[in-house]
Amino acid sequence: MLYYLFDWLAGFDFPGARLFQYISFRAALAIITSLFISIIIGKKVIYVLRNKQIGEDIRDLGLAGQMEKKGTPTMGGLLIIASILVPVLLLTKLHNIYIILMIFTTVWLGLLGFADDYIKVYKKNKEGLAGKKKLIGQVILGIIIGMVMAFHPDVVIKEKMKKSEITSTDAIFTFDNATKTTTAFTDSPAEHSTKTTIPFIKNNEFDYTWLTHWLGDESGILTTIVYILIIIFIIAAVSNGANLTDGLDGLAAGISSIIAVGIAVLAYVSGNAIFADYLNIMYIPNISEVVIFTAALIGACIGFYWWNCYPAQIFMGDTGSLTLGGMIAVLCIIIRKELLIPILCGIFVVQSLSVIIQVCYFKYTKKKYGEGKRYLLMAPLHHHYQKKGFHEAKIVQRFIIVGIMLAVLTVVTLKVR
């Protein structure tokens, strides 16, 4: 909203109004605003939740210090969501299709997670919302995201033209008030595409049509179906991975903030023709607005970490963890870097795999030996280390260090191929 106001004031040469044209300026404001909301307003939110006795009912799993957390206010995901949506509504171009998608994703998954927390807290049902119902919600979101990505007229990419096709006048750009030359994407046609980026490959673009071309899919219907199914899988996997990671104080918030920084870098270079040309990656028009959303996400996660780090004064609950994972998944999809998720979101992936391995191993040994055995002391992985005697604060910090290394490796893939 403020963007449109200052864009109008810029026509009257209002001092400072043109600053709102810069992505970097609005992204900085988004971080500051989300930090302010999550830290300053967060204290009052914790007070209200504690007074209303909206606390976590914790099962005794035999973990050190676990029962001391009983009664800690939960549903802190509402604070994260508010800290994201307020700066996004104020500072972004709300007509941008990618911003619309991210707002919808945030609200949709926020409601899904809230329903789960509500059942746990108010209905005293420790199981919360049934897993099938969560999955249905994620599937519906995946279908909507997939349909928009496949058919909306504003969701396009530009690929670099061959040098022989570029004239001298094609290579003039104005960036930050300085005229620069580049062989980038001027006059190249904007096109709908199911292409994405493959890490570590020189010509690093993969088109999902390759999966169905051998079937003679001339209309592209099968490609669209496969594409939507992959999107559904990614959203469900990352969302549930973040949910599993939310088991120690500060772990999910800390890891999510690091992942968001990596996404912000990827979105910025993908939305800037000069950097996209230099890095030899696809240019995505209008994707730069996503940097502001991601900046708000970074500020919200760091601000929530202020209250959620050990010993936690508030838990995010499924309201926060499901939403964070889903937002991260959709962000990676719209900037066409979803194949980088195993690296960037490596912590989420390992946490999910640890649960899958634990369950499969237990079933296998039960069938073979008549008695189920566990591969890990406890799943997800962070509980395994707790059982081994590591303090949860140390586990969180080491996971965050690994998350930082994975984020750096993800950014490095832009150049190393």
Between CA 403 and CA 346 the distance in angstroms is 7
pTM (2 decimals)? 0.91
DSSP 43-110: HHHHHHHHHTT-B------S-TT-GGGTT-B--THHHHHHHHHHHHHHHS-TT-HHHHHHHHHHHHHH
Within a domain: 374: no
Provide the domain limits for residue 203. Answer: 2-157+193-342
Q: Which residues contact 322 (CB under 8 A, 6 or more apart)?
A: 77, 109, 112, 113, 116, 134, 239, 240, 242, 243
Instruction: Tell me whether residue 162 is in a domain.
Output: no
pLDDT of residue 203: 75
Question: Does residue 383 lie within any of the structural domains?
Answer: no
At residue 57, the pLDDT reads 67
Kindly state whether residue 62 falls inside one of the protein's structural domains: yes
* Residue from 26, 25, 7, 27 nearest 17 by CA: 7
How far is residue 101's CA from residue 85's CA, in Å, rounded to a whole number?
Answer: 12
| Domain annotation covers residue 140 | yes
> How many structural domains does the chain have?
1
Kindly calculate the radius of gyration of the chain based on its CA atoms and give it in whole angstroms: 23
Domain membership of residue 355 (yes or no) is no
Query: CA-CA distance, 2 to 93, in Å (whole number)?
Result: 9
In whole angstroms, give the CA distance from residue 182 to residue 204: 20
User: What is the three-state SS of 321-365?
Assistant: HHHHHHHHHHHHHHCCCHHHHHHHCHHHHHHHHHHHHHHHHHHHH
- The Cα–Cα gap between 7 and 17 comes to 7
Residue-level pLDDT at 17 = 83
DSSP 239-266: HHHHHHHTTSTTHHHHHHHHHHHHHHHH
- C-alpha 205/C-alpha 279 separation (Å) is 13
pLDDT less than 50: residues of the chain = 162-182, 184
Please indicate, yes or no, if residue 110 is contained in any of the structural domains: yes
pLDDT at residue number 177: 37
CA proximity to 229, closest of 211, 202, 248, 254: 211
Tokens of 288: 């730069």
322: its two tokens: 């499901």
* Structure token pair of residue 159: 């690929």
First-last CA distance in the chain: 41
Quote the CA–CA distance of 188 and 356 in Å, as a whole number: 45
Residue 378 lies inside a defined structural domain of this protein: no
Chain segment 54-91, per-residue pLDDT in tens = 776 666 666 766 666 777 888 899 999 999 999 999 99
